[in-house]
């Protein structure tokens, strides 16, 4: 992969990283500004359900942030764009769709197959 492509993916990953961090900060501010919810039991239940959902989204974003940081590290070390399974170059379309991908489609399918088998 040439330096122009690496720069493209680095900017894409940094943009995604910034978006997640901004969303997380916004969510924290919204949660803190709401304070304690008042109302009847139904209002409290809805509020609790919304908070649980937001926490799940935050956890998912946190995991994605780790993958972004890992991919940025791979760019720096020069291994970005290579499958960690078979060491073949990843398809550019796959990287555009999912820049944090570290396995080619075939290796990812094998991994998922093994996970289903041992689950």
Tell whether 59 and 88 lie within a shared domain. no
pLDDT score of 21: 94
How many structural domains comprise the chain? 2
Domain of residue 16 covers: 1-80
Per-residue pLDDT for the chain (119 aa), expressed as one digit of tens each?
899 999 999 999 999 999 999 988 887 776 655 555 577 888 788 888 888 888 899 999 999 999 999 999 999 999 999 999 999 999 999 999 999 999 999 999 999 999 999 97
What is the number of other CB atoms lying within 10 angstroms of the CB of residue 29? 10
**Stated pTM of the model:** 0.82
- What string of DSSP letters covers 11-37? HHHHHHHHHHHHHHHHHHHHHHHH-S-
Cα–Cα dist 61/14, whole Å: 14
- Helices 41-77/3-34 angle, 10° precision: 160
Residues 39 and 75 grouped into a single domain: yes
Query: Please, what sign has the CA dihedral across residues 53, 54, 55, 60?
Result: positive
- Residues 49 and 61 placed together within one structural domain of the fold: yes
Length in residues, the chain: 119
């Amino acid at each position: 992969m040439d330096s122009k492509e690496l720069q493209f993916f680095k900017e894409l990953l940094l943009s995604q990283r910034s978006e997640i961090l901004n969303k997380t900060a916004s969510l924290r501010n919204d949660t803190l500004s709401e304070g304690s919810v008042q109302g009847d039991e139904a209002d409290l239940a809805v509020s609790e359900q919304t908070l649980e959902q937001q926490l799940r989204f935050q956890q998912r974003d946190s995991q994605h942030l780790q993958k972004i940081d890992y991919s940025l590290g791979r760019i720096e070390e020069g291994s970005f764009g290579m499958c960690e399974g078979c060491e073949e170059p990843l398809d550019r379309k796959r990287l555009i769709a999912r820049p944090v991908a570290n396995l080619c489609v075939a290796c990812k399918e094998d991994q998922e197959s093994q996970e289903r088998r041992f689950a």
